[in-house]
Structure 1
Amino acid sequence: MTLRQNVFCFLPIVATFSILFTSCYCFYPKLLNINASLAVSDDQSGWSPAGATWNGGSTGAGTDGGACGYGESVERPPFSSMASAGGPSIFKSGIGCGACYEVKCSTNSACSGNPVTVVITDECPGCVSESVHFDLSGTSIGAMAKSGLADLLRNAGILQSWGAVWKLDGAGSTLLPPFSLRLTSLDSRKIIVATAVIPAGWEPGKTYRSVVNFNS
């Protein structure tokens, strides 16, 4: 989907849903620090709640390159596109690069409930709606789905109504505002996020403005 206004860009609605996560071992063995602000349970071997979104191609590795410097290697073993960008509490200014987490979802009917392992390869500075947030690759999201339902789990249900008007008929669960919008430049692939640009208490027909824009 594209929007033309000086530049071409994708305009998907960032459909946030809930997942559970726990730390595991891989490139950079890391144990979670028990911290109430991260919603980590007292039992470190258990599961903790987190928010999740996804970006990039449906079977891709998310954003190529990324803030961790892995480049296109995220598409090849041992990553195999099972990658994720992390919100500030996960990325930790780069210290979190290479950390592995097991994640699983159970709130959507397409979720298998089986955990998958993802590696932190990028940052998502706009992912602050929850204290712990994963911006997963399309491959990672699909891996959490029941057999044959990967596209259903990835699909937020956004459709073009007419012209530059887009609509969301439902994403399998109730979506509560505020809503954030993620825009991707077709030229540079740079991603910007208009965080909570559609506020709680929004009304149809009203205009909500964000000052976030691509650098010229």
Structure 2
Amino acid sequence: MNSCGNDPIFEDGKGCGSFFEVKCSKPEACSDKPVVVHITDMNAEPIVTYHFDLSSLAFGTMAKEGMEEELRKANIINIQFRRVHCKYPADTKISFHVEKGSNPNYFVLLVKYVAGDGDIVEVDLKEKGSEEWKALKESWGAIWWLDTPKPLKGPFSIRLTTEFGVKLVADDIIPSDWKPNAFYKSDLWIN
């Protein structure tokens, strides 16, 4: 149930990973039942103020039974939408992907599977044995980076701060022998 969104939805990448409930009541093929979609990309088409480019599955799911193709052929329709909390299965924990190209002086981190409000506004890293939290800078979406002249030494703890001020810490989540292009799953989750 994926969708692209225009800039007010995608927000220069900050909206990537967010969830919206969308529904339509016209044309006749619309069921008026909502579907929850996951924003995965940007659509720059200046069609209307808020624009969703729904996957075929999501588009068809809004239709009355047996009228999926008719609704898809309608192409552009008016919808109602609202932002909803991200929901992942209960066993899905926040995970961290060390991005390709990362090294001890340039560390890039993708934060995945953040449920709840889903909006991370700060990511900090702390090296083992240090009391200092180093702020990562947002690259785009859920990708954060740190450029440092002194090589970083793991293991690293990662602290996340949500839009509503909730702070979560994954202690020593990135091991001392970390590798680029590797996932590290935490025990953290937001409901």
Q: Per residue, is there more strand in 1 or in 2?
A: 2
Question: Looking at both structures, which has the greater relative contact order when contacts are Cα pairs under 8 Å and sequence separation is at least 6?
Answer: 1
Highest CA radius of gyration, 1 or 2? 2
Per the normalisation by structure 2, the TM-score is 0.38
